[in-house]
Amino acid sequence: MACRSMQEFKSLGSERHQGNHSSPAVINRCNKPSNLLVEDAGAERRRSKRKASSGKSQEGASKRMRGTNRSPRSPAASQDHGGAAAPSSANPRRTNNRTTFKVRYEEAGPLGEGSYGSVYSGYRRSDRLPVAIKHIAKADVLYMQMALNGKMRRVPLEVVLLQKAGAGAEPGSVGSTAAVTLVDWFDLSNELVLVLERPVPAVDLDAYLEARGGHIQEHEAKIIMKQLVDAAAEIQAKGVFHRDIKLENVLIEMGSDVPRVRLIDFGCGCVLKEGAYTQAYGTPAYTPPEWYQRGSYRAGPTTVWQLGVLMFALLAGHLPFDTVRQIVHKKPKLGDGFSKNCQDFLKRCLNKCADGRFTLEHLQLHPWLD
């Protein structure tokens, strides 16, 4: 779903670690309302712990983050979403007629719902192509200026990112890129409607784990992580920073013997840029320690950190961190039974120092993925 600003729990963080924030720390949380950091390590197990949904503090007080400090929706995206216009070769399709949407697509049952929008299953009427139809309230849509046919136009940021992530695919094709394909989009008066590829059969990685008892074995985790690292490297090479890689945003296609990984939900993403970001978008439990310490982060190290958090959840059955203090100070370890290369790969991802983490290119060459 679309991102929405809210006060990051700075007061909680300041009680648990020393950080030098030059400006107020703000985090913009995406997607489902359950993506909150669990404060009580023993309160949640398996799925509820992985999704970090309770938001309980160690003192027992309920403390949910709320959207009290929303970012303004300006014609151009903010600096932290990437200020540069997308290349003129991008050619997203814009349709603003609801009747046209209904003529082209048949909408069916809901696939998921969050605070800022809903996703429904559906079909393209012309050829019965399965699609996912994502509705985002206009107030929650970020726009950016980009060059189209020699003119600067106002285009939804998520459309730009999906177009960039899908660059190189054959026109009209689906299933050939790491990111799900944007099939169509409709910029209506009160909402943005994205029509996306819907692989069948497929489930998100969180549901995939649930069906396997909450975690998977190392050999299967290696198959998934290799694809995830390659997928993250692919979209980064295309100038896209996903910014919210987590279990719920990874789709697992199950139409063959080997599960295939696809990235979904670019609602927290931005155009890749050099240097640091000073406003966080994503899920707190997957946010790297440098954000809580300094109020800034960079694309490459953040992506690698999020891959490490996800990898730990695959193997252990729960997220590695329950509090800000743990994110900043705890060094999670897998139990016995995992190979040295597996342990080393995780260590390289979850290095507390951003500069000490492996790059995506280094991870691709790590012996664990051989």
Task: Cite the active site residues.
Answer: 244
- Among 262, 287, 268, residue whose Cα is nearest residue 116: 268
Q: Hey, what are 231's tokens? A: 């997928």
Contact 211, 253 (CB under 8 A): no
Q: Which residue has the tokens 């990685």?
A: 205
C-alpha–C-alpha distance, residues 160 and 177, integer Å: 15
Q: Name the E strands within 138-269.
A: 143-148, 151-156, 182-187, 191-197, 202-204, 240-241, 250-253, 260-263
- State in Å, rounded, how far the first CA of the chain is from the last one: 35
**Cβ–Cβ contacts within 10 Å for residue 202, how many?**
19
- Asked if 143 contacts 75 with a C-beta cutoff of 8 angstroms, the reply is yes
CA distance 192 to 65: 25
Residue 148, C-beta contacts closer than 8 angstroms, at least 6 positions apart: 88, 90, 91, 92, 155
> CA 9, CA 3: separation in Å to the nearest integer?
17
Torsion of Cα atoms, 78 then 65 then 248 then 220, to 10°? 110
Q: What are phi and psi of 5, to 5 degrees?
A: -75, 150
Q: Name the β-bridge partners of 280.
A: 27
User: By C-alpha distance, which of 118, 12, 99, 127 is closest to 64?
Assistant: 12
